Structure 1
Amino acid sequence: MPLQMTGAPSDPDLIRLPWDLPLEEWPERHFVALPRGISRHVVRFVRLSGHVYAIKEISARYAKREYTLLRDLARLDAPAVEPVAYVTGRTRANGEPIDAALITRHLQFALPYRAVLSGSLRPDTLTRLLDALAVLLVRLHLTGFFWGDCSLSNTLFRRDAGAFAAYLVDAETGELYPTLTRGQREHDIEVAHVNIYGEMLDLEAGGMLHPSIDPEAVAHEIVERYRRLWDELTEDEIIEEVEWHRIDERIRRLNQLGFDVAEMMIRRKAGTARLIVRPKVVDAGHHQRRLLRLTGLDVEENQARRLLNDLDSFRVAKGLRHEDEAIVAHRWLVEAFEPTVNAVPPELRGKLEPAQLYHEVLDHRWFESEKAGRDIGLEAAVRSYVEKVLVHKPDEQAVLPGTPEEAALTGADDEALSGTDGEEEALSGAGEGTGAA
């Protein structure tokens, strides 16, 4: 069978890579050093034409299957790495067959959990990771995706204002159905419980876990967080007819969680004056879509929430309470957001995504204003943030070890992952994280 690349590769240099050699034998010049999680397969990162790709060696059957599943998840707008292509028909020069390869696009500004949890980071960071993983698992289950191997190792985390956003990396064991049964969901939850317990024990044995963190409690907590969120999104609510306002409250709670409600199914409970209300949750990203519609900014959910709050404050401060929302959003974009991002020296802009940069400037403004006893203003806050915080955030070479082997072993420096001057702990400004499938 001749060499064949199937998918939507946009870079012709991909086909020119040395596919007649196993990944472990590729020349070092092809690789870029990025932190990666533990994988049962050989995974390497390559940079071509300014883009970074993750390549995983896997059997042809599973390469095609995982590529198809990732394409389906992308169509459903689920949080997962983006598939590019899969390569089959690989052989050495002597005709010896080599495993196929799956190519995914590298997920910028994302890190594996070991890079986030290593060292003595506060337990609060783990809480935020568990929240992100619970949201990811719920979102996947709502789309009908059975993961089969939910774990921290199969997940990437990107900063999202003061929280994290989680992305599925490994879909090798997944299945997509119209809907999932309770048994399928419970099985996925149990697998997550076992896997996360093992991962916490592994970190503990390696001295990489904060002493206040109990591995068993962490594994139990992910189950509880998942169930609380699933119930909030899907369970029936019984209300009296006179309590119609509780429906609006339920919708607002779901919106605060980042989910949109397409419709509500309401029926009368037999023999009573009570109503049974069931929301139909259709999608996550409520604040993302609103910000995108108003400003064109495509950011994470909590970043969008923070920027929308700042937009509302801008409306009040400028006396624009009665102005059209689209006009206010345009003024905020050109008078607040863009000047803030543009005030950062070009050589420092790659350390953080613009939305995260703006969020951290807002935090810094609050801290500095508290110290000064007055509002120092946005312009002064930007200057202070650049001088006191941003310049000290490590660049890609400071965060990422020099070789793929070092990257796999060490992840990222603790200093690179912690906050500065008492400000909220967040991931450092690594220009790129890891997108291994």
Structure 2
Amino acid sequence: MGRVALEITAARPDPALLDLPWHLPLETWPEEHLAALPRGISRHVVRFVKLSHRVLAVKEIKTDIAFREYHMLRALGRLDLPCVEPFGIVSGREQEDGTVLDGCLLTRHLQFSLPYRALFSQTLRPDTAKRLIDALAVLLVRLHLEGFWWGDVSLSNTLFRRDAGAFAAYLVDAETGELHQTLTPGQREHDLDIARVNIAGELMDLEAGGLLHESADPIETSNRIVTRYTDLWEELTGLERFEKGDRWRVDERIRRLNELGFDVDELAISTDIGGTTIQIQPKVVDAGHHSRRLLRLTGLDVEENQARRLLNDLDAFRASQDRQGEDEEIVAHDWLARIYEPVTRTVPRDLTAKLEPAEVFHEVLEHRWYMSERAGHDVPIEDAIQDYVKTVLPGKPDEKSVLGVDTVEMPVIAMLGDEIGEG
């Protein structure tokens, strides 16, 4: 019978897979095997199944295409790109009467993620569509930087997770994708054009169903993918020369990315005889990432946005010292002793109730950046703290460190519904 020809391909096959009704078309599987999770729109039949205390997404698809997508997802995973994790392939499926069935691609369910239609079925702020587009722009840029041409960019082929007031996007469908050494401008523009058309159609469908906020225009919102992608691509790939005394320009580059609504988690610096060039490589980071990293490196326990600001300065310090190849913890120790602690210790005792130390340091960095911009060159941190303590800090109210204050203004998104976990 059909089970004799059944083949399961997986890096770590689970014997429980044999208990699933592979001899039945996926759309007819009994409820007892299924997990009640929201599904996105797909050209293929997709079901979530419960298996050994985990949840798998099963997509019924031509066997050769299933193998291709499985290997593509594994390649993207090795590149540390945001995508679903492939689990295995089931081929050789037949019904009891001998009718041949398509194969199935198995991927692990991405915890706490939702398809875009599930997001819009809830009561969300009007700018939700824009936030999703921004997350998709980050994903597309990351894929393109690694040479991946998607070929079917859309909201439907993406899962979204809440990420510290914004959204993080993950590739779900790699069926049409191609991995190259690098992409040409034409390939990138083709992906962008596909994205713009697909997103417009998806948003129009939401609008017709009464799920899109009346202030959101489908065409205008879909065009946002082009502008946000272009802005981010230019900021990330543009080469900029600076001298070692122009550290403020590194800060300015990071600031522009932050103002675009993007985080910077890694600075890639290369030097040559004529000077120094800077390139910034983005990484989508999870909520709490910055505070955990700062605590590990320095022992400072601060709020997330404060930690991001301090880490930006730490990374800029490492770049200005040309110490990219050194152990991160050693550089962090030097930064703490030479930059952070001298600044916070400079605050007079009678002014320590104004702001908590991490917030003072953030404000000194802001103050220094403005001073450097006006001067056209780096202003020493010692001069910045002295001027700040003299002209700015005395005018602050005695807040006694209001914890949780955001040091970077970011759009706020309403909380999603109950998070969905596995099992």
What is the aligned partner in structure 2 of residue 41 from structure 1?
44
Q: Give the 5 Å matches for 1:238-249.
A: 243=246, 245-247=248-250, 249=252
Q: Note the C-alpha offset of 1:424.
A: 5.3
What is the aligned partner in structure 2 of residue 116 from structure 1?
119
TM-score when normalising by structure 1: 0.66
Does the CA contact (< 8 Å) of 2:240 and 2:277 recur in 1? yes
Q: 1:431 aligns with which of 410, 420, 423?
A: 420
Does the CA contact (< 8 Å) of 2:131 and 2:167 recur in 1? yes
Which segments of 5 or more consecutive residues in structure 2 lack a partner in the other structure? 297-302, 312-335, 341-398, 405-411
Q: Which has the higher contact order (CA 8 A, sep 6+)?
A: 1
What is the aligned partner in structure 2 of residue 260 from structure 1?
266
What is the aligned partner in structure 1 of residue 238 from structure 2?
235
What is the aligned partner in structure 2 of residue 5 from structure 1?
8
TM-score when normalising by structure 2: 0.68
What is the aligned partner in structure 1 of residue 225 from structure 2?
222
What is the aligned partner in structure 2 of residue 81 from structure 1?
84
Q: Note the C-alpha offset of 1:429.
A: 2.3
- Going from structure 1 to structure 2, the CA distance change for 1:168 and 1:432 (only over 3 Å counts) comes to same
Q: Give the 5 Å matches for 1:25-424.
A: 25-118=28-121, 121-237=124-240, 243=246, 245-247=248-250, 249-250=252-253, 257-264=263-270, 277-279=277-279, 281=281, 283-285=283-285, 305-306=304-305, 308=307
Q: Which moved more, 1:220-229 or 1:5-14?
A: 5-14
Q: Note the C-alpha offset of 1:212.
A: 0.6
What is the CA–CA distance in structure 1 between the aligned matches of 2:417 and 2:36, rounded to whole Å?
17
The percentage of counterpart residues that share the same residue type is 53
What is the CA–CA distance in structure 1 between the aligned matches of 2:251 and 2:195, rounded to whole Å?
34
Does the CA contact (< 8 Å) of 1:53 and 1:103 recur in 2? yes
What is the CA–CA distance in structure 2 between the aligned matches of 1:60 and 1:94, rounded to whole Å?
20
Q: Which moved more, 1:257-266 or 1:65-74?
A: 257-266
What is the CA–CA distance in structure 1 between the aligned matches of 2:179 and 2:283, rounded to whole Å?
17
Q: Note the C-alpha offset of 1:49.
A: 2.1
What is the CA–CA distance in structure 2 between the aligned matches of 1:163 and 1:377, rounded to whole Å?
21
RMSD between superposed Cα atoms in Å? 3.6
Q: Which moved more, 1:244-253 or 1:8-17?
A: 244-253
Q: Note the C-alpha offset of 1:267.
A: 7.2
What is the CA–CA distance in structure 2 between the aligned matches of 1:56 and 1:161, rounded to whole Å?
31
Q: 2:27 aligns with which of 24, 29, 39?
A: 24
What is the CA–CA distance in structure 1 between the aligned matches of 2:248 and 2:157, rounded to whole Å?
41
Does the CA contact (< 8 Å) of 2:116 and 2:159 recur in 1? yes
What is the aligned partner in structure 1 of residue 368 from structure 2?
none
What is the CA–CA distance in structure 1 between the aligned matches of 2:28 and 2:170, rounded to whole Å?
29
Q: Note the C-alpha offset of 1:322.
A: 6.6
- Which deviations, in whole Å up to 9, do the C-alpha atoms of 1:163-187 show, x marking residues without a partner? 1111001110101111111111000
Q: Note the C-alpha offset of 1:294.
A: 5.9
What is the CA–CA distance in structure 1 between the aligned matches of 2:250 and 2:294, rounded to whole Å?
27
- Going from structure 1 to structure 2, the CA distance change for 1:267 and 1:246 (only over 3 Å counts) comes to farther
